[in-house]
A and B are shown apart, each in its own frame.
Chain A
Amino acid sequence: MVDMDLSQPPFTLLDDSGRERVVRGVDLLYFNRGEIILDAGQPGEFVYIIHKGEVAELDPHAPSDQARIAHYTAGDLFGAISILKGSSRYRFKVEQESLCYAMPKTLFEHLCDDYPAFADFFQRGLAQKTRLLAERRAESGVNMAGFMLARVSACMRAPLIVEATTSIAAAANRLNESHADSMLVGKDGRFGVVTKTDLLNALVMEGATQARPVVTIAHFELVSAAPDQYLFEALVQMTRHQVARVVVVEQDRPVGVVELTDVLSHFSSRSYMVSLELEQADDLEALARASARLPELVQALMAQGIKLRFVMDLLAALNGRIVDKAYQFLVAPRYRAQSCLLVMGSEGRGEQILKTDQDNALIVADDSDWPDREIAMQRFTETLYTLGYPPCPGNIMVSNPAWVDNESGWRRTVTRWVERRDGASLMNLAIMLDARGVAGDTRLLDRVREHLFASCSHDELLLSYFARAALHFAAPLTLFGTLKTPRHGIDIKKGGIFPIVHGVRTLTLECRINETSTLARLAALAEQGRLEADFAADLGEALALFIELRLKQQLAQLDGRQNSDEPNLVVVQSLSSLERDLLRQALHIVKDFQQRLTHRFHLEY
């Protein structure tokens, strides 16, 4: 009768009789704090499964700050790798008195023999750990495998083919129209390639006239590849021949072109392709298609281990372009020049990875004359909805007349908020502070923000009202500094993301920093000396971790693997021990930050 939880991997890989063998075969062991269960170099005799308590895995040869390899708590399993490898590489030390199940080596080996999936789990665990360490050594741990296995056909684009009689001027126009860098010229069944560089050289260096047929400058010795060749072979060819593109030939017909930039962006998860598609979109449908590809892009980027802050930057830029494009389609240039479209909230801060609600507003120049503004804005909101941005539940959208005003109107509104300083006004100020201009004349926003800073940054009382919200939710840590583990999970938005974002926002308001992204704000604050550089970096990392955790849940939801609709709730029990450890440390940083805010803005009461 052993109360073992065998509903977690790797035990799920066993069948009932295998689990029965585990239950029958394990012993119970007690360890006091500070005891060393298994020292480095010792042969592994047992696989330990923790029933209660905490065990740290330490590297005895590393300096003390990097010594900690992993942290195990209830339900975790360790020692398997020591058995597989013969001896333990690290030292397992009891951090909190622990009760462990010990599975003897022989039983473990028999299980591995009888259940290949069970054995695989540990082999993979070994590989994962090795990779983790390798990544720690070299920060740029990019997964090459996907790139190496991609075929040429996966990343080629349709060729731009022109007649031999086309003039240089017409060719240049075609290139510009289709946002291409090169074109193929057909002559007598053969094809030659003309690049932008060729055109430039012909016109400038050789003094050719614009009317000269483009075929005279084409290169007919093509560097070609077949569609089913590996992409890296194409890359090798480009390197060997010192060109920036290969022509894909199938049965003597050119079927596509692979540009060096395409290869490189395929390597970086097709980000360039999506942005290209965005730029080339010339109606709303094309835009909607491009916009629908963003989640897939995020998934690919995350899978390759690209740092989250770069993904966020990229996504903020892409989302900005989508909104800008939509604005261009719907609003005449005359009106665009006299207005500024703002995105706000998390999108304004550039922390929105997957699309969420549209938070936007409009500033119109004082002297503008725009008769059907309301109708246009209504249509704009609807258009964004069709592009995949659900409407804002708080109705902070341009279709709401309260968020459309002229410049002096906005100044008055800001002044009113500052004077009133109740909950709603403070929230509106915070939203306004995060606003980022994406389309139109952004100087309008700069002036409104200047006014906002002028009326707030010296008002200590307002600042402490403003800062108080950051303390509203306590970090979900217990009295002893470990993670709280409620069954429904801890809310990392309330407990982690919001305190950091809002605290940093308050400091930004005080220091008049124009940046809107929290990470950029942190960098600016560190530069001004308002925060120590180390602490600012820690806060940034903590925020990135929270956002990453949330993103994982959102992506899981997207895949349909998880049907909870609360991506902010992280169930601690389901995290790996390394993630749990990181989360705990990150929450401690949040707590520390909240204490600093309390001290700075006198929020003790």
Chain B
Amino acid sequence: MIRSLRRVADRRRQADGRYGWLFSPYTGDEMVAIDCETTGLDTRTAELVSIAAVRIQGERVLTSGSLDLRLQPPASLRGDSIKIHRMRGIDLNDGDELGEALEKFLDFIGNRPLLGWCIDYDRAVIDRQLRPLFGFSLPNACLDVAQLYLREMHRTRPQLEPTVNFESVAEALNVPVMGRHTALGDATTTALMYIRLKKGALTTS
């Protein structure tokens, strides 16, 4: 509710700006799977380390034209998160500045619907960075693949208590996990999961 009110406000404010087109409804057939690696799990403090986005066109995952951004090392980059995404400060030294990266990201995704694994988290982190710099939050429609999976499971196998963790869902959908805990790998895997779900992987098997 608050989000949609905000979106309306953002839209009015941006209507004549550079990003006004992001607010118009999308009419194509593509979607974008996104994933971020961050320095923590708390949306209020976590900062972005890398962002990846992969377009999906029908049943094809367009990995050839994917976006994989690495950012300048944020101040909160510490040992515990490095253990997960394996990006050390040094690896990020040649990364993009936050503002530039977000600009590239916005240009890449456009007004296409977004797709992600627990996308609310990624969106919250991105929005927190986006708002001070650009003055709006991501206006795109979002689809959470984890929720989609849960819903499909409830519909096809109501008797089961499904476990929703990334690896086990990938296995259940017979999707290879590519490069886990790299932004692009997770985004690609999520895209594949979505395609499998759309093709009725759960209903047929």
Partners in one complex: yes
On A, residues with C-beta under 8 Å from B are: 1-3, 24-32, 51-52, 97, 99, 102, 104, 107
Query: Quick check: A27 and B61 within 8 Å, CB to CB?
Result: yes
Q: Main secondary structure on chain A at its contact with chain B?
A: strand
A51-B176, A97-B174 known; A28+B61 contact, CB < 8 A? yes
- In the assembled complex, 22 residue pairs joining A and B whose CB atoms fall closer than 8 Å, in A order, are A1-B63, A1-B66, A1-B68, A1-B178, A1-B182, A1-B184, A3-B178, A3-B185, A24-B64, A26-B63, A27-B64, A28-B60, A28-B188, A29-B61, A30-B59, A30-B192, A30-B199, A31-B59, A51-B176, A52-B176, A99-B176, A102-B60
Is B62 engaged at the interface, CB distance under 8 Å to the other chain? Answer: yes
User: Which residues of chain A are within 8 angstroms of B135 by Cβ–Cβ distance?
Assistant: none
Residues from chain B with a CB closer than 8 A to the CB of A104 are 64
Q: Which residues of B, 48-96, contact A by the 8 Å Cβ criterion?
A: 52, 59-64, 66, 68
| In contact, A28 and B192 (Cβ under 8 angstroms) | yes
Nearest residue, chain B, Cβ from A104: B64
Q: Does B175 contact A (CB under 8 A)?
A: yes
Chain A residues within 8 Å of B52, by CB: 1
Please tell me if B36 contacts chain A, counting CB pairs below 8 Å.
no
Rounded to whole Å, the gap between the CB of B96 and the closest CB of chain A is 17
In Å, the complex CA distance between A337 and B192 comes to: 78
Count how many pairs of residues, one from A and one from B, have CB atoms less than 8 Å apart in the complex: 54
Complex Cα distance A28/B182, Å?
17
Residues of B within 8 Å of A3, CB to CB, are 176, 178-179, 185
Bound-state CA distance A24–B65 (Å) is 8
A97 partner residues in chain B, CB cutoff 8 A: 174
Residues of B close to A99: CB separation below 8 A: 175-176, 192
Whether the pair A30, B62 counts as a contact (CB closer than 8 A) is no
The complex places the Cα of A212 from the Cα of B183 at a distance, in Å, of 99
Min CB distance, B15 to chain A, in Å? 36
Please, how many angstroms separate the alpha-carbon atoms of A531 and B62 in the complex?
55
Q: Is the interface of B mostly helix, strand, loop or mixed?
A: mixed
Tell me the nearest residue of chain B to A24, going by C-beta. B64
Contact A27 B176 (CB under 8 A): no
Chain B hits for A30, CB < 8 A: 59, 61, 192, 195-196, 199
Q: How far is the CA of A107 from the CA of B65 in the complex (A)?
A: 13
Chain B 156-177: CB-based contact to A (< 8 A → 1; otherwise 0): 0000000000000000001110
Give the distance in Å from the alpha carbon of A26 to the alpha carbon of B64 in the complex: 5
Q: Do A27 and B188 touch (CB < 8 A)?
A: no
> Does A32 lie within 8 Å of B199, measured CB to CB?
yes
5 closest A-B pairs (Cβ-Cβ)?
A1-B184, A28-B61, A3-B178, A1-B185, A1-B179
Contact of A27 among B62, B178, B183 (CB under 8 A): B62
User: Which chain A positions have C-beta within 8 A of B199?
Assistant: 30, 32
Residue of A with least CB distance to B61: A28
Given contacts A1-B182, A1-B188, A99-B192, contact A29 B64 (CB under 8 A): no
A52 — which chain B residues lie within 8 A by C-beta? 174, 176
Closest to B52 in A: A1
A26 to B192, CA, bound (A): 14
Interface size on B, residues (CB 8 A): 24
Cβ contacts under 8 Å, A28 to chain B: 60-61, 63, 188, 191-192
CB-based nearest B residue for A2? B63
Say whether A25 contacts B64, CB under 8 Å: yes
- Contact flag A27-B60 (CB < 8 Å), given A1-B52, A1-B188, A99-B192: yes
Question: What is the chain A residue whose CB lies nearest that of B184?
Answer: A1
Distance of B140 from chain A, by nearest CB (Å): 22
Shortest C-beta distance, B103 to chain A (Å), equals: 22
State the CA gap A2–B178 with chains docked (Å). 7
Q: How far is the CA of A51 from the CA of B61 in the complex (A)?
A: 14
Which of B63, B176, B184, B188 has the most CB atoms of chain A within a 10 A radius of its CB? B63
What is the bound-complex CA distance between A222 and B195, given in angstroms?
Answer: 80
| New contact pairs (6) apart from A29-B61, A30-B196, A30-B199, CB-CB < 8 Å | A1-B185, A3-B179, A26-B64, A51-B176, A99-B192, A102-B60
Q: Which of B85-122 contact A (CB under 8 A)?
A: none
Residue of B nearest to A28 (CB): B61
Complex CA distance for A140 and B191, rounded to whole angstroms: 51
Cα separation A26 to B60 with both chains bound (whole Å) = 11
Residues of B within 8 A of A1 (CB): 52, 63, 66, 68, 178-179, 182-185, 188
Residue of A nearest to B201 (CB): A97
User: Closest approach, in angstroms, between the C-beta of B115 and any C-beta of chain A?
Assistant: 14
- How far is B195's CA from A51's CA once the two chains are assembled, in angstroms? 16
Nearest B residue to A51 by beta-carbon distance?
B176
Q: Whole-angstrom distance from the CB of B155 to the nearest CB of chain A?
A: 20
CA distance A30 to B56 in the complex (A): 12
Among residues of B, the one whose C-beta sits closest to the C-beta of A32 is B199
Residues on the A chain within 8 Å of B182, using CB: 1
Q: Mark B179-205, 1 if CB is under 8 A from A, else 0.
A: 100111100100110011001000000
Which residues from chain B contact A2 at a C-beta distance below 8 Å?
63, 178, 188
Contacts of A29 in B (CB 8 A): 59-61
CA distance A203 to B19 in the complex (A): 112
CB distance from A436 to the nearest CB of B (A): 53
C-alpha gap A32/B63 in the complex (Å): 20
Q: Which residues of A contact B59 (CB under 8 A)?
A: 29-31
Contacts of B195 in A (CB 8 A): 30
Q: B175: nearest residue on chain A (CB-CB)?
A: A99
- B179 → A minimal CB distance (Å): 5
Residues of B within 8 A of A24 (CB): 64
Contacts of B60 in A (CB 8 A): 27-29, 102
C-alpha spacing A3/B196, complex, angstroms: 18
Report the minimal beta-carbon distance from A459 to chain B, rounded to whole angstroms: 52
Q: Which residue of B lies closest to A102 (CB)?
A: B60
Interfacial chain A residues near B192, Cβ < 8 Å: 28, 30, 99
Cα–Cα, bound, A28→B59 (Å): 9
* Neighbouring A residues of B62 by C-beta, 8 Å: 27
Q: Least Cβ distance of A95 to chain B in Å? A: 15
Residues of B within 8 A of A51 (CB): 176
- Give Cα A31–Cα B59 distance, bound, in whole angstroms: 8
How near does chain B come to A278, taking the closest CB pair, in angstroms? Answer: 57
Most chain B C-beta atoms within 10 Å of own C-beta, residue among A28, A52, A99: A28
Q: Which residue of A lies closest to B200 (CB)?
A: A32
Q: Kindly state the separation between the CA atoms of A30 and B195 in the bound complex, as whole angstroms.
A: 8
With A and B bound together, what is the CA distance between A102 and B58 in angstroms? Answer: 14
Shortest distance between the CB of B166 and any CB in chain A (Å): 15
| CB-nearest residue of chain B to A107 | B64
Would you give the shortest CB distance from A53 to chain B, in whole angstroms?
9
With a cutoff of 8 Å between Cβ atoms, the chain B residues found around residue A26 in the complex are 63-64
For B196, the closest partner residue in chain A by CB is A30
Q: A99 vs B182: C-alpha distance in the bound complex, in angstroms?
A: 20
Report whether B174 and A27 are in contact in the complex, using a CB–CB cutoff of 8 Å: no
Closest chain-A Cβ to B187's Cβ sits at a distance in Å of 8
CA of A102 to CA of B64, assembled, Å: 9
CA distance A2 to B184 in the complex (A): 8
